[in-house]
Structures are given as structure tokens and as C-alpha cells.
Structure 1
Amino acid sequence: MRETLAEAAFQLFLERGFERTTVDEIVARAGVGRRSFFRYFPSKEDAVFPDHERCLADMTALLARGTEPDPVRAVCDAARLVTRMYAAKPEFSVQRYRLTQEVPGLRTYELSVVRRYERTMAGFLRECWSGGPDGALRAEVVAAAVVAAHNNALRAWLRSGGSGDAEAAVEHALGTVLDVWARPAAPAAAPGAEAFAGSAGSGGSPGANAAVSGGGPGGGPAEVSADGDVVVMVARRDAPLWRVVQQVEAVLGTPARHR
């Protein structure tokens, strides 16, 4: 019934315009009573976005399962659910996007839906980082970055009329967030860098109890075993600062306060 009402409503919105379509006309097209409409949709605006409530519930459930150990990668996985929802019905998604651009009230409603996704991600991240410095701030920044990257790619796909691969475009956009905020999948040295960990010897040289491998021009993995508390990083001048910081975090085993 929910899908029948949503389909009838959307057909009328396209035929007559959103503002000129009444609830009575929607239920007449669907062949049901007026009371049935409000059982599923509090307003006409809700009938334009019938799938977001289900997607939001799926996102909440995904984050609650906690199968991804890196919180940043977890919220990116959550954002991909929204992409797949749009990509599953490309024609409908493109038509809805065009309709929201024409009706200010729908645009406002859409922004409120986006904000709900962002709050869900930020709440999850705050719990993950509650014991760390600036955890709440970091959660809000990362959640906003994930939503911005996702929506930038998704809206470009919608403006193109649904041409191309929406999921690939979003994946590329989310990669910009993962490059900055996510933990590396495995400890990786900066290009042309060597990492040493251990107790400092005379003259500040690494202690003999540190064992390190990797860090060549290809930025291969580094393996570190040490019982000291000093880290020395040697990197190429052109090595990206964020990658150097990631490597230091990997050696220390704790997130740095600044990036």
C-alpha cells in the first residue's frame, strides 16, 4: 500500500505539479481511502521520499552491528547504502531530483533528510571517539565530510540524467575522506620514508631493540617491534604530511590530536 500510494502521488506530481496535486487526488488515483494516505505519510512531502525512512533504519542497523573496526570506514559503508538506494531506481531518482529543484518546499525537506543521515553518522562517531581528545568535534567534522563527498558525487550523477556509474563516482568521492581520516588498512610508510621505533641511544640514534622494515620508494608496509617510547621518522621532502602522520599513528597505536 505504501508503494502504491507513493507511485500514485509521484505520477500526479509529474503530471500536474506538486503544489496543484491534492491528497484527495492521490488516494483517488491509488484507489484507497483518504485515511490510508495519512497512515503511511504525514504529508505530501513524505510521499516524494518514501524510501529514506527504510534506508535510515538500515544505516542505523549497519552501524550498530559494528562489523567494521575503523569508524570512518564504517560511516562510509553507511553512506554507500544511500547510493545503492538511488542507483536501484535511476529513472525515479532523476525525476525526483528534478522535482525537488523545482519545488522549494521539497528542497527544504530533502535537506532535512540529509541532516538526519548526518546526525546518525555523527552520533555513531561520537560514541566511538568519546574517550579521545576532541572526539565530539572530530565526529561532526568527519560526518559532514562524508555527507559532502557523497552528495557531491551523487548529485553530479543525478544532474547527468543518471548516466555513468553512480556507485563508482561515490566511491571515488569517499576516497578523499578516507585518505585523510581513515586508519590505514595496514601500517604504511610515507613514500621514500623509513620509520624507527625504540629507546633512544646515545646521540639520539634508534635503540638496538627496534626492528623496522619497509619504507622504500613504493611506500611498502613497515613492521615495527620495540619496547621503547621514542619514534623517529625520516621522510622525503615531498612526502604528504597526512601520510607521515598516519604512519606515526600506526607506530604509536593511538590517533594523533592534529593532522
Structure 2
Amino acid sequence: MIASSAVPPAALDLLISQGFDATSVDELAAAAGISRSTFFRRFGSKENMVFADQEMIITHVQTTLAASSVDAISTLIDAAHVVFDQYTVNPEGAQLRHKLLSSVPSLRERELVSTHRYERAFYEFLSRRNLANTASEKSLCLGVSAGLVAIHNDHLRTWLKDSNSTDRSKLAHDVRLFLDRFADLLGEDNEQTTKTSPAPTVVVSVLDSGADEQSILQAVSAALSERNK
């Protein structure tokens, strides 16, 4: 889990009370207890400051997915926990950020971009696991990625309304329930088959054009025996 929030709650509170456009960088820097130059060096802009946590979480999700050696379903549940845990460990910041995004249309548009980035991270993980090789598998993996984000966001919105109404175990239950519907695609057996299926054996035998069936069988048998020595 990421231990602390990159976004100062006092700065978010100021954006809410004064308005996003009406609040200057100097005021945000003062609220955060840093200089103007440090603000720009750390965040770059007001909008980037609001989404600084998102950048950290997305990076953490990508690392979790890349480092995993367990099955796809367990890995995706772990990745969903990465996002959920980071929001719920900082209730004040999560509530302030949600309130701010609800009141500023341009920030909601940026939030939508972040949602697509999570979906992309999940899809690229499934693709690396060789689960999106065909056109149909690709479509299913895209759907799985979008569905996973939708379930997480639903739990997060529920938690924002009432922190006792859901938790990481309930999120894991619903994510697994969803992903189990795609067990044929995501299941461990499928991954093992993809990783360990032996390559087909090719045997070449040269015979006269008039060779009968028995001669062909004998030639193939001899070639296989020679190959296996």
C-alpha cells in the first residue's frame, strides 16, 4: 500500500471552499505549507495536484500486475485492492477529492481519462498472459478490464456514502464472482495450457511416389524412433 497521500487535504479543502478557478497557486502552496516553486516542481499545475494520488496508484497497480506470478484472477483481485486500499486508508482526502470532482466538470473529464488508464493496465496484463490472442479473446479481455473497474468504482462510491457498507473483503468477493464467469478465459488451467503445451512434432520422410500405406507408416515410425534417441 502507498503509505501517505501526495495531495495535501488543506489544499483540497481550499479548492472546495473558494472554487477551483478562483484559487491561486500561491494560495494552494501556502495551504500545503510549501513554496510556490516547490509546488510547481512537485505538481506542475493545480489539476495535476488534484490527481497526484492517481498517478501514484496507477504506477502501483502496474507494478503489482507486472510482478505477479499467481493466476490471473488472484492477480486482478490484488490489483483492485491496491486502488481500494489507497482511498480507504485516507478517508478525509477521499471525501474531499470526491466532493471537488463532483463540482468541477473539467476534473470529472480528467477522472474519466484515469479510468481508461486503469482499464488499459488490466488489459495489457491479460495480453501479457497470452489471454488475448484471438479477436474474440481480445474483446472478452477488454470487457473484463472495464467490468473490473466498474465493480471497484461502485464499491468505492458505496464506501464514500457509508464507510461501514463495504470493505476490501466484499470487494474481493464481488470481483471474484464476476471474474469466475470468465474462468474459461482466465482460469489457471487455461494459463498453464498456454504456457506449457508442447510444440507439435514434425517428421519428414522421403518415399517413392508409389509407396503403399504400410511403407509410409514404417517410414514415419522409423523417423520418430530416430528423433527420440
1:144, distance to aligned residue in structure 2 (A):
0.9
Kindly indicate which of the two structures has a greater share of residues assigned to strand.
Answer: 1
Match of 1:142 in 2: 144
Q: Secondary structure at the match of 1:182?
A: helix
1:46 aligned residue (23, 35, 48): 48
1:3, distance to aligned residue in structure 2 (A):
6.0
Instruction: Give % identity.
Output: 34
Question: Residues 13, 161 of structure 1: CA spacing in aligned structure 2 closer, same or farther, 3 A cutoff?
Answer: farther
Q: Secondary structure at the match of 1:164?
A: coil
CA shift digits 1:19-66 (9 cap, x unpaired)? 221112112333433221121113212212322222212111111112
* 2:118 maps to 1:117: yes
Match of 2:24 in 1: 22
Match of 2:167 in 1: 166
CA shift digits 1:82-118 (9 cap, x unpaired)? 0000110122212211221111111111111121111
State the distance in 1 between where 2:12 and 2:140 align.
39
Question: Residues 87, 131 of structure 1: CA spacing in aligned structure 2 closer, same or farther, 3 A cutoff?
Answer: closer
Match of 1:245 in 2: none
Residue type of the alignment partner of 2:91: P
Kindly indicate which of the two structures has a greater share of residues assigned to helix.
Answer: 2
Match of 1:128 in 2: 129
Question: Residues 100, 161 of structure 1: CA spacing in aligned structure 2 closer, same or farther, 3 A cutoff?
Answer: farther
Question: Residues 31, 127 of structure 1: CA spacing in aligned structure 2 closer, same or farther, 3 A cutoff?
Answer: closer
Q: Is the 8 A contact 2:7 2:53 kept in 1?
A: no
Match of 2:197 in 1: none
Question: Residues 4, 186 of structure 1: CA spacing in aligned structure 2 closer, same or farther, 3 A cutoff?
Answer: closer
Q: Is the 8 A contact 1:79 1:150 kept in 2?
A: yes
Question: Residues 155, 110 of structure 1: CA spacing in aligned structure 2 closer, same or farther, 3 A cutoff?
Answer: same
Structure 2-normalised TM-score? 0.71
Residue type of the alignment partner of 1:141: G
Question: Residues 118, 45 of structure 1: CA spacing in aligned structure 2 closer, same or farther, 3 A cutoff?
Answer: same
Structure 1-normalised TM-score? 0.63
Match of 1:182 in 2: 183
Show structure 1 runs of 4+ deviating over 4 A. 2-5, 183-187
Structure 1: which 5+ residue stretches go unaligned? 188-248, 255-259
Please give the root-mean-square deviation of Cα atoms over the aligned residues, in Å. Answer: 2.9
Q: Is the 8 A contact 1:129 1:136 kept in 2?
A: no
What number of residue pairs does the alignment pair up? 189
Q: Secondary structure at the match of 1:51?
A: helix
State the distance in 2 between where 1:138 and 1:170 align.
21
